[in-house]
Structure 1
Amino acid sequence: MNHDTPLSPRPLRHVPDVQQRVLTSAQLRSHGVTAADTNARCRPGGPWQQLLPGVFLLRPGPATGEERLHAALMYAARCPAPHASVPAQPGAGEPHGPRQYAEAMVTGLAALTLHRFSCAPPLLSLDRVDVLVPRLRRLRSTGCVRIVRTAGLPEPEQVAGLPVAPVPRALADAVADLTDADAVRRLLTEAVRGGHCDPAAVVRELTQARLLGRPHVVDAVDSLVAEGRSVAEERLYLLVREYGLPDPVWNVDLRLPGGPHLGGVDAYWPDQAVALELDTRTPRQDEDAAWSECARRREHMERLGITVVHVTPRKLRESAEQQAAVVRTALTASGDRDPAAYVVVVPR
């Protein structure tokens, strides 16, 4: 076999071009290419090159960003062993497609680039690709690949045919390696403003990664929470307009006449005694205490005959029509309830 010999009589047209160019040593052997043949083709000036241990690019020249991603995943993945015999169908028994990347997914900045974050750097400008694998996998970081370990792999999202960590996990892995406060703030802000995820999901991942002890991360999280509330409020205003709900009074405090403060609500319909609260809390250390206080205020208002509708930013984003129906039902049902106690409404 010389350098110009075709790879195999078994065609690879059933897989994407990049998976024809980037193959592991096991895949090459399944096509009848021996280790000696591979080494010969990878000599200086040869038509192939080794990108990572056991992973080869079947062409000369610099690897593209897509090729680097596939190579990183193929290096880190737990691949099924190829069959020794020739399959009945072209490609049968070859670990192409999602199976070939089992127990590995792109995370960190590369994942955010794949998720189309405008402030994430282009793939080719990244010095390395972060790949998330189970904690007990025996792998080491090498070349352009940094291995990131986790006790439990999240369910990957398929982006451009690649398994990619969900945005909250990818953010946590990216932030873990960033010391630039502005860069961290930009990433977290875009995650919320771009509708990729809710602040609570991001803070949960940052907490699990033990990153909230870093001052520049805490500052960015405070901005993230404020951004998340602003976005959620805009969606709430839009929901009232688009679904024809009566106009409420916005962002008010409720008080008993001459009595105690009942609490602030994001929207209130005085004629129907219906209050709406946006839950933009994040899972910080005081979560239990904050939730207990919210539950206490809600129970107090309901004892006074005020119906409290509880809405999360995620519900507003993913099921606005359903949330509008919940509010409309509460408003309509007010006529069947006993009159609520008189409360004083004060702008916040």
Structure 2
Amino acid sequence: MSRGSWRRDAELIFAASRRGVITVTQLESLGVPPATSYRRCLPGGPWQRLLPGVVLLRTGAPTRRQLVEGALLHCGDHAVITGLESCRRQGLKRDARPGEAIHVLLPLHLKTTSSGYVLVERTKRMPVPVRSDGLPLAPAVRAVLDECRRMRERPPIRALLAEAVQQLGLDPTDLSGELETGSRRGTALPRAVLREIAGGARSAAEAEAMAVWRRTGLPEPVWNFELRDECGNYIAIPDAWWDNVALAWEIDSYEFHFGQPGYASTLARNNRYAAAGVAVVQTVPSRLRTDPAAVADDLVSAYRAAAGRPRPPVVLTGRHERVVHDA
């Protein structure tokens, strides 16, 4: 085969691929013998093997999209991407971890199995896919819970569900409904976390704050209610609020409260609290995990101090998403 002929054939082959990813069977239909395809994937060759029978038509690290295309070629036309990959492609702000599997749903009757970086789950509840940039994705409600069911610890489940509610606009009621409809396997922790979210925690940090509050013996605060002064001027939406003593608790977390413009916003909020005579306890999220007893002591001390002074004339209104005013 002459050099010019190979160049024309190479262009034809790439045009038949999915962003450079193609099966050995497809290559054979284009005139490339399987032995040639596998030989070109050997060390030092111009191609590489992604999965059994799936080839990337170049060397070097594949892109995430090429890995997804390889997973779909491995699994066939009925495959639907779920889990974190689906969530990210629908707006979740999380980077893929090195070596993170691509989770694929297939109908129960198919026999394709997991291989390499592809995690295959056969199910009798195949979702109607959402199409995004040509990819078949499980709807976000299903995708996030498919990921949660594989987790074994509460903190990462809290973080993922909180991010899904905040970033993807998912309704906790819809998430709970999906849990009730689907398999019971791996649902105990997601159910518990969703109960926390339904109780008012809109971030992983706030859910952990609820656990710290339970150590204090203080009355239960209200969570994420808007606070105004006696003239009706907006003050803030404290993470937690003890109305009888006018004490606010702020979990100052930019990791979970997406969209905060930063330090200037926090200063402005604290100035409004000070002008209204409101006592504030500020906690960084890491202390909720590393030193919960000390945080609980801080709250008790602040509560007692607030109870010892006249209550300022501030008023609560309805529950709001925190980012409405503080962003």
Q: 1:104 to 1:27 in 2, by over 3 A?
A: same
Q: Which residue of 1 aligns with 2:161?
A: 188
The residue correspondences of 1:75-154 to structure 2 (distance < 5 A) are 75-77=74-76, 102-118=77-93, 120=94, 122-123=95-96, 125-154=98-127
Shift of 1:54: 1.1
Shift of 1:160: 2.7
Shift of 1:105: 1.3
Q: Secondary structure at the match of 1:125?
A: coil
Shift of 1:7: 6.8
Q: Which residue of 2 aligns with 1:36?
A: 35
Q: Which residue of 2 aligns with 1:95?
A: none
Shift of 1:194: 2.6
Contact 1:12 1:20 in 2 (8 A): no
Shift of 1:24: 0.9
Contact 2:49 2:55 in 1 (8 A): yes
Q: Which residue of 1 aligns with 2:220?
A: none
Q: Secondary structure at the match of 1:130?
A: strand
Q: Which residue of 2 aligns with 1:73?
A: 72
Shift of 1:165: 0.6
Q: Which residue of 1 aligns with 2:310?
A: none
Contact 1:103 1:133 in 2 (8 A): yes
Unaligned runs of 5+ in 2: 204-223, 225-327
Structure 1: which amino acid aligns with 2:55? F
Deviates more, 1:30-39 or 1:187-196: 187-196
Contact 2:40 2:46 in 1 (8 A): yes
The answer to whether 1:225 aligns with 2:198 is: yes
Contact 2:141 2:170 in 1 (8 A): yes
Distance in 2, Cα, partners of 1:57 & 1:213: 37
Q: Which residue of 2 aligns with 1:161?
A: 134
Distance in 1, Cα, partners of 2:154 & 2:3: 51
Contact 1:132 1:148 in 2 (8 A): yes
Q: Secondary structure at the match of 1:56?
A: strand
Q: 1:75 to 1:3 in 2, by over 3 A?
A: farther
Shift of 1:181: 1.1
Aligned length: 203
Contact 2:162 2:202 in 1 (8 A): no
Q: 1:191 to 1:140 in 2, by over 3 A?
A: same
Unaligned runs of 5+ in 1: 78-101, 235-348
The answer to whether 1:177 aligns with 2:178 is: no
Q: 1:136 to 1:194 in 2, by over 3 A?
A: same
Q: Secondary structure at the match of 2:7?
A: coil
Q: Which residue of 2 aligns with 1:201?
A: 174
The residue correspondences of 1:47-62 to structure 2 (distance < 5 A) are 47-62=46-61
Q: Secondary structure at the match of 1:218?
A: helix
Shift of 1:125: 2.4
Q: 1:201 to 1:41 in 2, by over 3 A?
A: same
Shift of 1:182: 1.6
TM-score (norm: length of structure 1) = 0.52
Q: Secondary structure at the match of 2:120?
A: strand
Bigger Cα Rg? 1
Shift of 1:140: 0.9
Distance in 2, Cα, partners of 1:2 & 1:46: 18
Shift of 1:143: 0.3
Structure 1: which amino acid aligns with 2:114? S
Q: Which residue of 2 aligns with 1:6?
A: 7
Q: Which residue of 2 aligns with 1:210?
A: 184
Q: Secondary structure at the match of 1:132?
A: strand
Q: Secondary structure at the match of 1:158?
A: strand
CA offset digits 1:4-47 (Å, max 9, x no partner): 933737746867xx714100112212221110110221111000
Distance in 2, Cα, partners of 1:229 & 1:218: 15
Deviates more, 1:132-141 or 1:2-11: 2-11
Q: 1:227 to 1:133 in 2, by over 3 A?
A: farther
Q: 1:150 to 1:61 in 2, by over 3 A?
A: same
Q: Which residue of 1 aligns with 2:284?
A: none
Structure 2: which amino acid aligns with 1:169? R
Distance in 1, Cα, partners of 2:106 & 2:191: 27
